Chains A and B, each alone.
Chain A
Amino acid sequence: MLPIIRSGYRQDVYEGDYMEETKQNIFANFGKAVKNEVVDFITTFKEGDWKTRLSYIVMGSGNFLRGQVVRGLVYLLFEALFIWFMFFCEPHGGKYWITMLPSLGQQGPTQEQVVVLGQTVFTKVPHDNSFQILLYGILTLFLIVAFVISWRSSIRQAREAQLIEESGKKLNRLKDDIRSLVDEKFYKTLLALPVLGITVFTVLPIVFMILVAFTNYDGTHDGYMTNLFTWTGWNNFRTMLNMNGGGESYAKVFLGILGWTLIWAFFATFSNYFLGIMVALMINKKGIKLKKLWRTILVLTIAIPQFISLLYVSKMFDKSGIVNGLLIKWGWITEPIGFWTDPLLARIMVIVINIWIGVPYLMLIATGILMNIPADLYESAKIDGASPVQQFFHITMPYMLFITGPYLLTSFTGNMNNFNVIYLLSAGGPTNSAASAASGSVGYTDLLITWLFKITQGAESKYYMASVIGILVFVVVAIITLVVYNLLPSNRNEEDMQ
């Protein structure tokens, strides 16, 4: 969940409304669309005049020659830029990136002598750059796809312009185009920037990192100054999932961490959920005074940046921290308790402290939902003689579960990737020495996401392993999301609650 990790605040997201749309088969109409495209493509050429046919080679000419000057020029400019980038760009054009992509670079850095004032200095001189080749290779592929799409659209536009001209109507000029960009085509204007940002800063990096899983890109193969990196096929996945690797293979470490990640996500989600609802019920109970005060005190943990509160609490439970200090002072214990050194205790601690951080958030949500439960449900229940406990289990909880089903799901997957709480509290510790021997430093409270982070740190920085983990996290989260979403009551029997 990108937003959650990024902000440190719990901006959980609600995917419900269009998960539904995802359920429709993406590929259903695909074949049909392709067929239509081909047919349209051929008819355009058959029926087009020379202006339209010229657009097959010179993009935008169909528009340009019919008086849509600016639109035609934009297409033409794009085509010119594309050709320049592919073949004439210095020092490396698109052709270079594409041809280098299969090998990710031929010549690694070499040691060369530089003689300065009689003193010989050795310097490393880099040549090919695997990282750039992979990155720009992907970019070039993106660009080629974009080019094909705009080439296709220029042909379609040429045909449209021809048809409009033939029917004797007036063609859209620049002024009309601009007007439509703030009116019926306003969405294009609004989406341009966000979609560009997402493409460059999310889609491209994710594609890149997926590909990195098939290379040996790490600290000693940075593709530039140390060594080039190259394709290794499915090797990394084999290493990660190979169970026969002896005592502590990657697979065992992975399964161990995955297990704890799921346990953590389960407890972190549901402890917060139920406690949050209970607190909300208590605060909102009729006759309870100072509602605002209680709420404000609890909400403090949302307001104060997590790194302060979590780091501080983590130090409170340190061996030389406040808690141990006080317990020793009062004579309750003689030796400091290793809250962060005992594996089981550390795991319990992160779950308990997560309650401190998460309950207020759930309290806010639950408050909002509780207000919306129709009062007549409770009144009729009272008339039927239902006790408050019965009311809670037969009205409040089903209603809450129904409404917050999708939220619970996103919160579960969000907790699986909850970097901040784990890293700031325990930094993944205490160290699991057996697992660490197999695969870098691994601790008992490490989640997959913190493991991923740790693997990218230090001199070794096995980026390829990090990206394998990232892909596996995606697979796990996607499976959970798909399976659970189809089981949700709000998805199955929407009519029941209404």
Chain B
Amino acid sequence: MADKGKRILGMKAKNTIGNTAIYIILTLMSIVWLIPFVCIVLQSFRTESTHQVGYIVPTAPGLDNYKNLFVASRSVATDEYLITVGDEKAKAKSEAKIAKQAAVAAAKAEAMKKALEAAGRTGESSNETVVAKITSQSTGRVLCIGDTAEFAITAEGHNLTYQWQYLDPAEPLIDASLLDPAEAKLARQLSFTQSEDAEAAEEEGAEAGSEDAAAAEGTEEASETAEPEETEYDTIFVSDTISTVSLVPNWQNIDGAASNSLQVPVTEANDGFSYRCVVSGNYPLKTEFVGWYTNTFIMALIVAVLQTIIVLCMSYTLSRFRFKMRKPLMKLMLILGLFPGMLTMIILYRVLKDMGLTMANAVPGLILVYIASSGMGYYISKGFFDTIPMSLDEAARVDGATRAQVLWNIILPLSKPIVIYTILTAFMGPWGDFVFAKFISFNNSEGMNVAVGLYKWLSKDMINDRYTMFCAGGVVVAIPVTILFMCLQKYYVEGVTGGSVKG
């Protein structure tokens, strides 16, 4: 008796040691599994402007990254206008020249548009509503002493503030490290908006092209300067670790000029000065991220519904009906499945492009691509339907139910787990899809899904600014999907294991 007890105790002790080892292993695994997720959450709260990826813990935690995802507090620097003082003769000459240039530019724009239309490249207009554009009575004109240069700016947005600035040609540059942090941050934001505007400009295609052409042909007196501003500001980074010494334009604020128009008397003193206006304000729903998020969400919802219907139709049919083409069909799909799916992307892109369903309109195109061949993924749910006894169908058929009634009234209620599994995987698909979305959106921010958009933020020239925002974006994407997954985990596990046990 005692001996037996000892043995049991011994076994128990041995077991406990075994269990302790398992607990240790599981704990270590859990830590390894969680570290990246903890890190990404921590980094998403970093507000430091450092682009060093290596810092985990935020020293001054804040919600800036999250705010920036949804609300763009953007500062838009408008075109620069140069005042050049000249004499009356030059003034008249320039006026005539400007009139001629305008006519040529208009004609060119028209021709360009026609050529582009012939090439089938139009129809991709940007719906960017945040516009800030200086219109000036004296634009492009040689001004004389005594004239008044009038600038006006039209911008759409909320809570707009205007800050007029000038650039003195005598001291055009300043050391960036001398700027105070707030100003440096503005400069940083400026570089964002500049790049976004550049994208918008590219999309506009025809118009932008003609403008550039006009600017390039413009005379010395032409006041529009089409300088690539972006590059100038890109050097401004006041980071914890690296102090960048770089020169940036020394814009000076004009005190008291805070309305949307500015009048400057032309004197000898401001000969050669450039003027510009920085418009700041909030443009909710205008951030790229919100666009990507909505795109993905819309796709996920529609795909979840349609793909589920198609998959269920397919798998139910192949499980329940015996018809002549059944086996050839299944063989065909098996063979098709062995081809890398990406191969089809090359042609689908061209076809969808001809239909106008790429780039900015990528969402309907992608939905089409996702659901069109989703019938091929019927394996798991067919396996499930196979486990529902045929005798149920037969009994109902004897009672006079049609096949459609059998499906609707008998099979579907029994198939709740597999229906939920199918919906869940179909819903999660668009959130994780990368290749197809990348192909079809084709570098157009408007048509991207979150995966492609956030991938863009990690590209070499953006990662410095956007790394922490990527973390925040990742968290925002992951939270709803993860919660949904965790809630429906039971069904997911059933689907996955059911399929594999079926073998």
Contacts and interface: CB of A to CB of B under 8 A. Distances in A.
Contacts of B110: 116
B373 interface: yes
Contacts of B470: 311
B477 A315 contact: no
A194 B502 CA distance: 24
A316 interface: yes
Interface in B292-331: 310, 313-314, 316-317, 321, 323, 327-331
Interface string B422-436: 000100110111111
A317 to B, nearest CB: 10
B376 A311 contact: no
B455 A300 contact: no
A367 interface: yes
A94 interface: no
A203 B484 CA distance: 34
A46 interface: no
Contacts of A140: none
Given A13-B377, A308-B477, A312-B471, A368 B30 contact: no
A124 B118 CA distance: 9
Interface stretch (B67-75, B277-285, B364-372): B364-372
A405 interface: yes
B403 A325 contact: no
A183 B119 contact: no
A326 B30 CA distance: 20
Nearest to A423: B434
Nearest to A117: B107
B317 A300 contact: no
A478 B107 contact: no
Contact of A304 (B321, B340, B481): B481
Nearest to B435: A419
A19 interface: yes
Interface stretch (B15-23, B87-95, B228-236): B15-23
A345 to B, nearest CB: 18
A158 to B, nearest CB: 20
B22 A372 contact: no
A50 B485 CA distance: 65
Nearest to A282: B22
Interface residues of B, number: 116
Contacts of B431: 8, 305
A349 interface: no
A198 B375 contact: yes
B346 to A, nearest CB: 5
A184 interface: yes
A205 B348 contact: yes
Given A7-B432, A297-B34, A13 B379 contact: yes
Contacts of A39: none
B334 A22 contact: yes
A334 B395 CA distance: 76
B428 A197 contact: no
B454 A368 contact: no
Interface in B83-114: 103-104, 107-108, 110-112, 114
B5 interface: no
Nearest to A132: B354
A89 interface: no
B337 interface: yes
Interface in A157-216: 179, 182-184, 186-187, 189-191, 193-195, 197-198, 200-203, 205-206, 208-209, 212
A210 to B, nearest CB: 9
A316 B403 CA distance: 55
A350 to B, nearest CB: 15
A70 B40 CA distance: 63
Given A13-B380, A202-B336, A419-B435, A116 B107 contact: yes
A356 B32 CA distance: 9
B334 A15 contact: yes
Interface stretch (B50-58, B140-148, B197-205, B355-363): B50-58
A304 B313 contact: no
Given A8-B434, A303-B486, A474 B493 contact: no
Q: Which of B34, B343, B402, B481 has the most CB of A within 10 A?
A: B343
A191 B497 contact: no
Interface string B488-503: 0100110011111111
B112 A365 contact: no
Contacts of B502: 14, 16-17
Nearest to A312: B40
A13 B425 CA distance: 13
B108 A203 contact: no
B323 A18 contact: no
A184 B406 CA distance: 12
Given A182-B403, A449-B342, A114 B377 contact: no
B435 to A, nearest CB: 6
A257 interface: no
Contact of A184 (B346, B403, B493): B403
Interface in A1-60: 1-3, 5-9, 11, 13-19, 21-22, 26
Given A7-B428, A8-B434, A307 B317 contact: no
Given A296-B486, A490-B503, A197 B404 contact: no
Nearest to A123: B115
A208 B347 CA distance: 8
B244 interface: no
A356 B99 CA distance: 67
B341 A1 contact: yes
Contacts of A241: none
Interface stretch (A232-240, A377-385, A465-473): A465-473
Contacts of B462: none
B26 A182 contact: no
A100 to B, nearest CB: 17
B375 A305 contact: no
B350 interface: yes
A478 B338 contact: yes
A294 B19 CA distance: 14
Given A19-B334, A186-B402, A206-B344, A307 B500 contact: no
A375 interface: no
B383 interface: yes
A201 B373 contact: yes
25 contacts: A1-B337, A16-B503, A17-B383, A116-B107, A119-B111, A125-B118, A184-B403, A190-B317, A193-B313, A194-B375, A200-B372, A202-B376, A205-B343, A206-B339, A206-B344, A300-B37, A305-B428, A305-B478, A318-B53, A368-B496, A368-B500, A369-B501, A372-B501, A453-B435, A473-B339
Given A6-B429, A205-B344, A305-B478, 18 more contacts: A13-B499, A16-B502, A21-B331, A116-B108, A183-B404, A186-B404, A193-B313, A194-B310, A194-B374, A198-B376, A205-B343, A209-B343, A225-B119, A296-B489, A301-B33, A325-B54, A413-B338, A453-B435
Interface of A: 1-3, 5-9, 11, 13-19, 21-22, 26, 114, 116-117, 119, 121, 123-126, 131, 135, 179, 182-184, 186-187, 189-191, 193-195, 197-198, 200-203, 205-206, 208-209, 212, 225, 279, 282-283, 285, 287-288, 294, 296-309, 311-313, 315-316, 318, 320-322, 324-326, 356, 360-361, 364-365, 367-369, 372, 403-407, 413, 417, 419-420, 423-424, 448-449, 452-453, 456, 463, 466-467, 470, 473-474, 477-478, 481, 490
